[in-house]
Structure 1
Amino acid sequence: MNVLLRIHQWLSPLGIASYPLAYIIEIIIFFILVAISFVGLIYFFRKYMARIQLRIGPNRVGKFGLLQLIADALKLIQKEPILPKNRDDLAYKTAPILVMISVITAFILIPYGSFYYFGSLNIVNSQVTIILVFAVLSIMPIGEVIGGISTKSNYALLGTLRGIAKDVSFEVPMIISVLAIIMIASRKVADPFSITGIVTSEIIPYGIVEPLGLIVFFIGMVARASHSPYDLAESDSELITGYTTEYSGMRFGLFYIPLFAMVFFASLLISLLYLGGYNGPLSGDLGLIYLLIKAFVLVMIFFLIWISLPRIRIDRFVNMGWKYLLPISIINLVYAGLITLYVW
C-alpha cells in the first residue's frame, strides 16, 4: 500500500470524492515535505561550511539560527525587483519559474520507498521514470539559457555560453552510464526503464558491480548541481553571478534554491541507481529511512566538494568530459554488456 491509498482509506466515508481529494492531499503533503527539505538543506550547508571554516554560522535569528532562513526568504520577497532596461520581458520573467518547476517535478518522479503504516510515497507510477527524470531535468538548463540571454547582459551571456558547453560535455557520458544500468537490469525485471524496477533488480548495488559508471555519473551530477568546482555558468569571481547577474529579489531566489535542491535530488538519484536505494532489512517498513541515510551521506560529500575545491577552467572541464568521461562511460557500457551476457 502507498500513501495515496492510505489517505483514500481514511477519506472513504466521503464516497466518490475521496480518491481525487486523497490525491490532492498527497500532493500538498509532498510539496510541504520538499519545501522543508530545501530549507533544511540550506541551513545545514551554512552550518556545515561554517564548522569546516572554523566559524559559527547562523546563530542569531531563532534558536541556533533556525529562523535565519525564514528571515532571508522574507527579505527576498520584500525586495524591489530591479528589471534590466533592454530585457526580453516574457523570457526574463519565465526563466526562473521554468528552473524551479523542473526541479520540483523531478522530485515527484522519485520512488521513496515505504515507511511503516503509511506505505510508500510514490506520486508517479510509470514504467519509464528514468526517461522522464532526464527529460524533466533537461528543462532546467533551458530556463538558465533563456534567463541569461533575455537580460541582454554580456556577463549573463558569457555565463550562459559556459553553461551550455558544460551541459553538453557531461550529459552524454552520464546518459551512457545510465544505459549500462538499464542493460543489466533488463535481465532481472520487465521494466528496466523504471527507477523502481532498477532498484528491485539491485541484488548487489550497481555501484559495486560497475564502479566506473558510478564515478562518471557522480561527476555528471556534481556538474548538473552547478556548484564548485563546476559552477561555470555562475563564475561569481569572474562574471559576477553569470546568467543570474541581472536578477534580484525573489526571481534570484528561484534560481538560488534549485542549486541546493539539485544536490539533494542528485543524492537521491545516485542512491537509487547505484547504492541500492531503499533496499535493506525490513525495507517494507524502513525503505524511506535507508534511502534518506544514503542520500544524506552523499549530500555531505557534495557539500564537502563544494566547499573544498576551486573552480575548474571551462576548457579543462570540456576536455575532461569529451576526452576522459566519454571514453570511460563507453568502456563501462561494454563492460556492462559482458556482465549481462555472461554473468548476470
Structure 2
Amino acid sequence: MILVTGGAGFIGANFVRDWLAQEDEPVVNLDKLAYAGSLASLEGLLHDPRHVFVKGDVADSALLARLLESHRPRAVVHFAAQSHVDRSILHPEDFIQTNVVGTFRLLEAVRAYWLAQDAGAREHFRFLQISTDEVYGSLPPEAAPVDESGAYAPRNPYSASKAAGDHLVRSYHCTYGLPVLTTNCSNNYGPFQFPEKLIPRILLQALEGKPLPIYGDGLQVRDWIHVSDHCRAVRAVLEKGLPGRAYNIGGNCERTNLSVVHEVCRLLDRLSPRGDGAPYARQITHVEDRMGHDRRYALDAGRLREELGWQPLESFEAGLEKTVRWYLAHPGWVAELLGKSAATNVIN
C-alpha cells in the first residue's frame, strides 16, 4: 500500500492512473478537491478496490495520523501543492499553508508513524517529495542546465514555498533519519491539467475565439516534459532512489513560451480549424509581463539517467499533439472544472 497526497490533481491523478495500470499494489489517495482537483480525473478508478479515495487536507494532522495507522503504507508520495505562480502573487498565504505548513504536518505524522514500525519496515519505508525546477531560480541564457548541486534561489511566493517544503523534507532525513527522496521536475503537460497553465489555457481560449495573452515578449524559456514521463521517473525514484538524495526530472526540451503557443495554434489549425479559415495565431496578443517572471528554467537529469536508467520517451511534438487531441475529445471534463472554479470565485 502507498499513500499519495494530491492524487486528484493534474500530475497526481496521472500518477495514480499510471501506478494502477502498472502495479497491483493499492493506493490511498488523499486530496481536498480544491479548484484544480477533481474526481472526474479519476474516472474509472473510483470503484477499483485497489484505489481508496479520501477527501481531506494534507494539513489535517489528526486525519493524517488515522490514515497512516489504518492503512499502514510502505511509502508516501507527496504531490499535494498549490502550484500556480500567478495565484501565489495574488494570494501567497494559501501557498504557505499548503506547501509549507501542510508539508510540515505530513512530515510530523509520517515521522511518528515511521518510528513506531519495526526495524525492517523503517528501513524499507520511503517519503517522496515532489518538487519543481522553479526552486533553482532563473538561469542566464548561456548557463548550463542546473543539476542537483545547484543552489536554491526562488524568486516568487510559489517557488519559495516549495523550496521551504524541500528544505523541511531534507532536514527530517538529516535530523531524524527519515528515508526521504526529492524530485524536481520541469514543466509538465498532458491530460487532466487545469486550464490556468499555459498549454490548456491557450488551447481553450483559442477555441473560444478569445485573445491569447503572452506575457512580455514571450521569450521566457521552459524545459517541457510529458506527464507520463514524469510518472515513470517518480516510480523509478521510489523503487531505486537513494534515501536523502534529490533527482532532477527534465525533458531536455527547452522551448520559449511563444514558440509553444505557436505550435498549439498550428495543431488547432489542423485538428479543429476556425470557421473563417484564419490561423489561430492571429489571436495572439502580448500583455504586460508578470511580476518576478523568471526568464529561463532548465534541468540536468543526468543523475536520474545514469543511476536509475530513466530517460524521457515522449517527444514534445508527439506529446503535444496527443494533449491537444485529448482536450478536444474531453469538453465535459473541461466544463466541469471550469464550472467548479467559477462557483468558488476562483480567478482563471
User: Greater share of strand residues, 1 or 2?
Assistant: 2
TM norm. shorter chain > 0.5 = no
Bigger Rg over Cα:
1
User: Greater share of helix residues, 1 or 2?
Assistant: 1
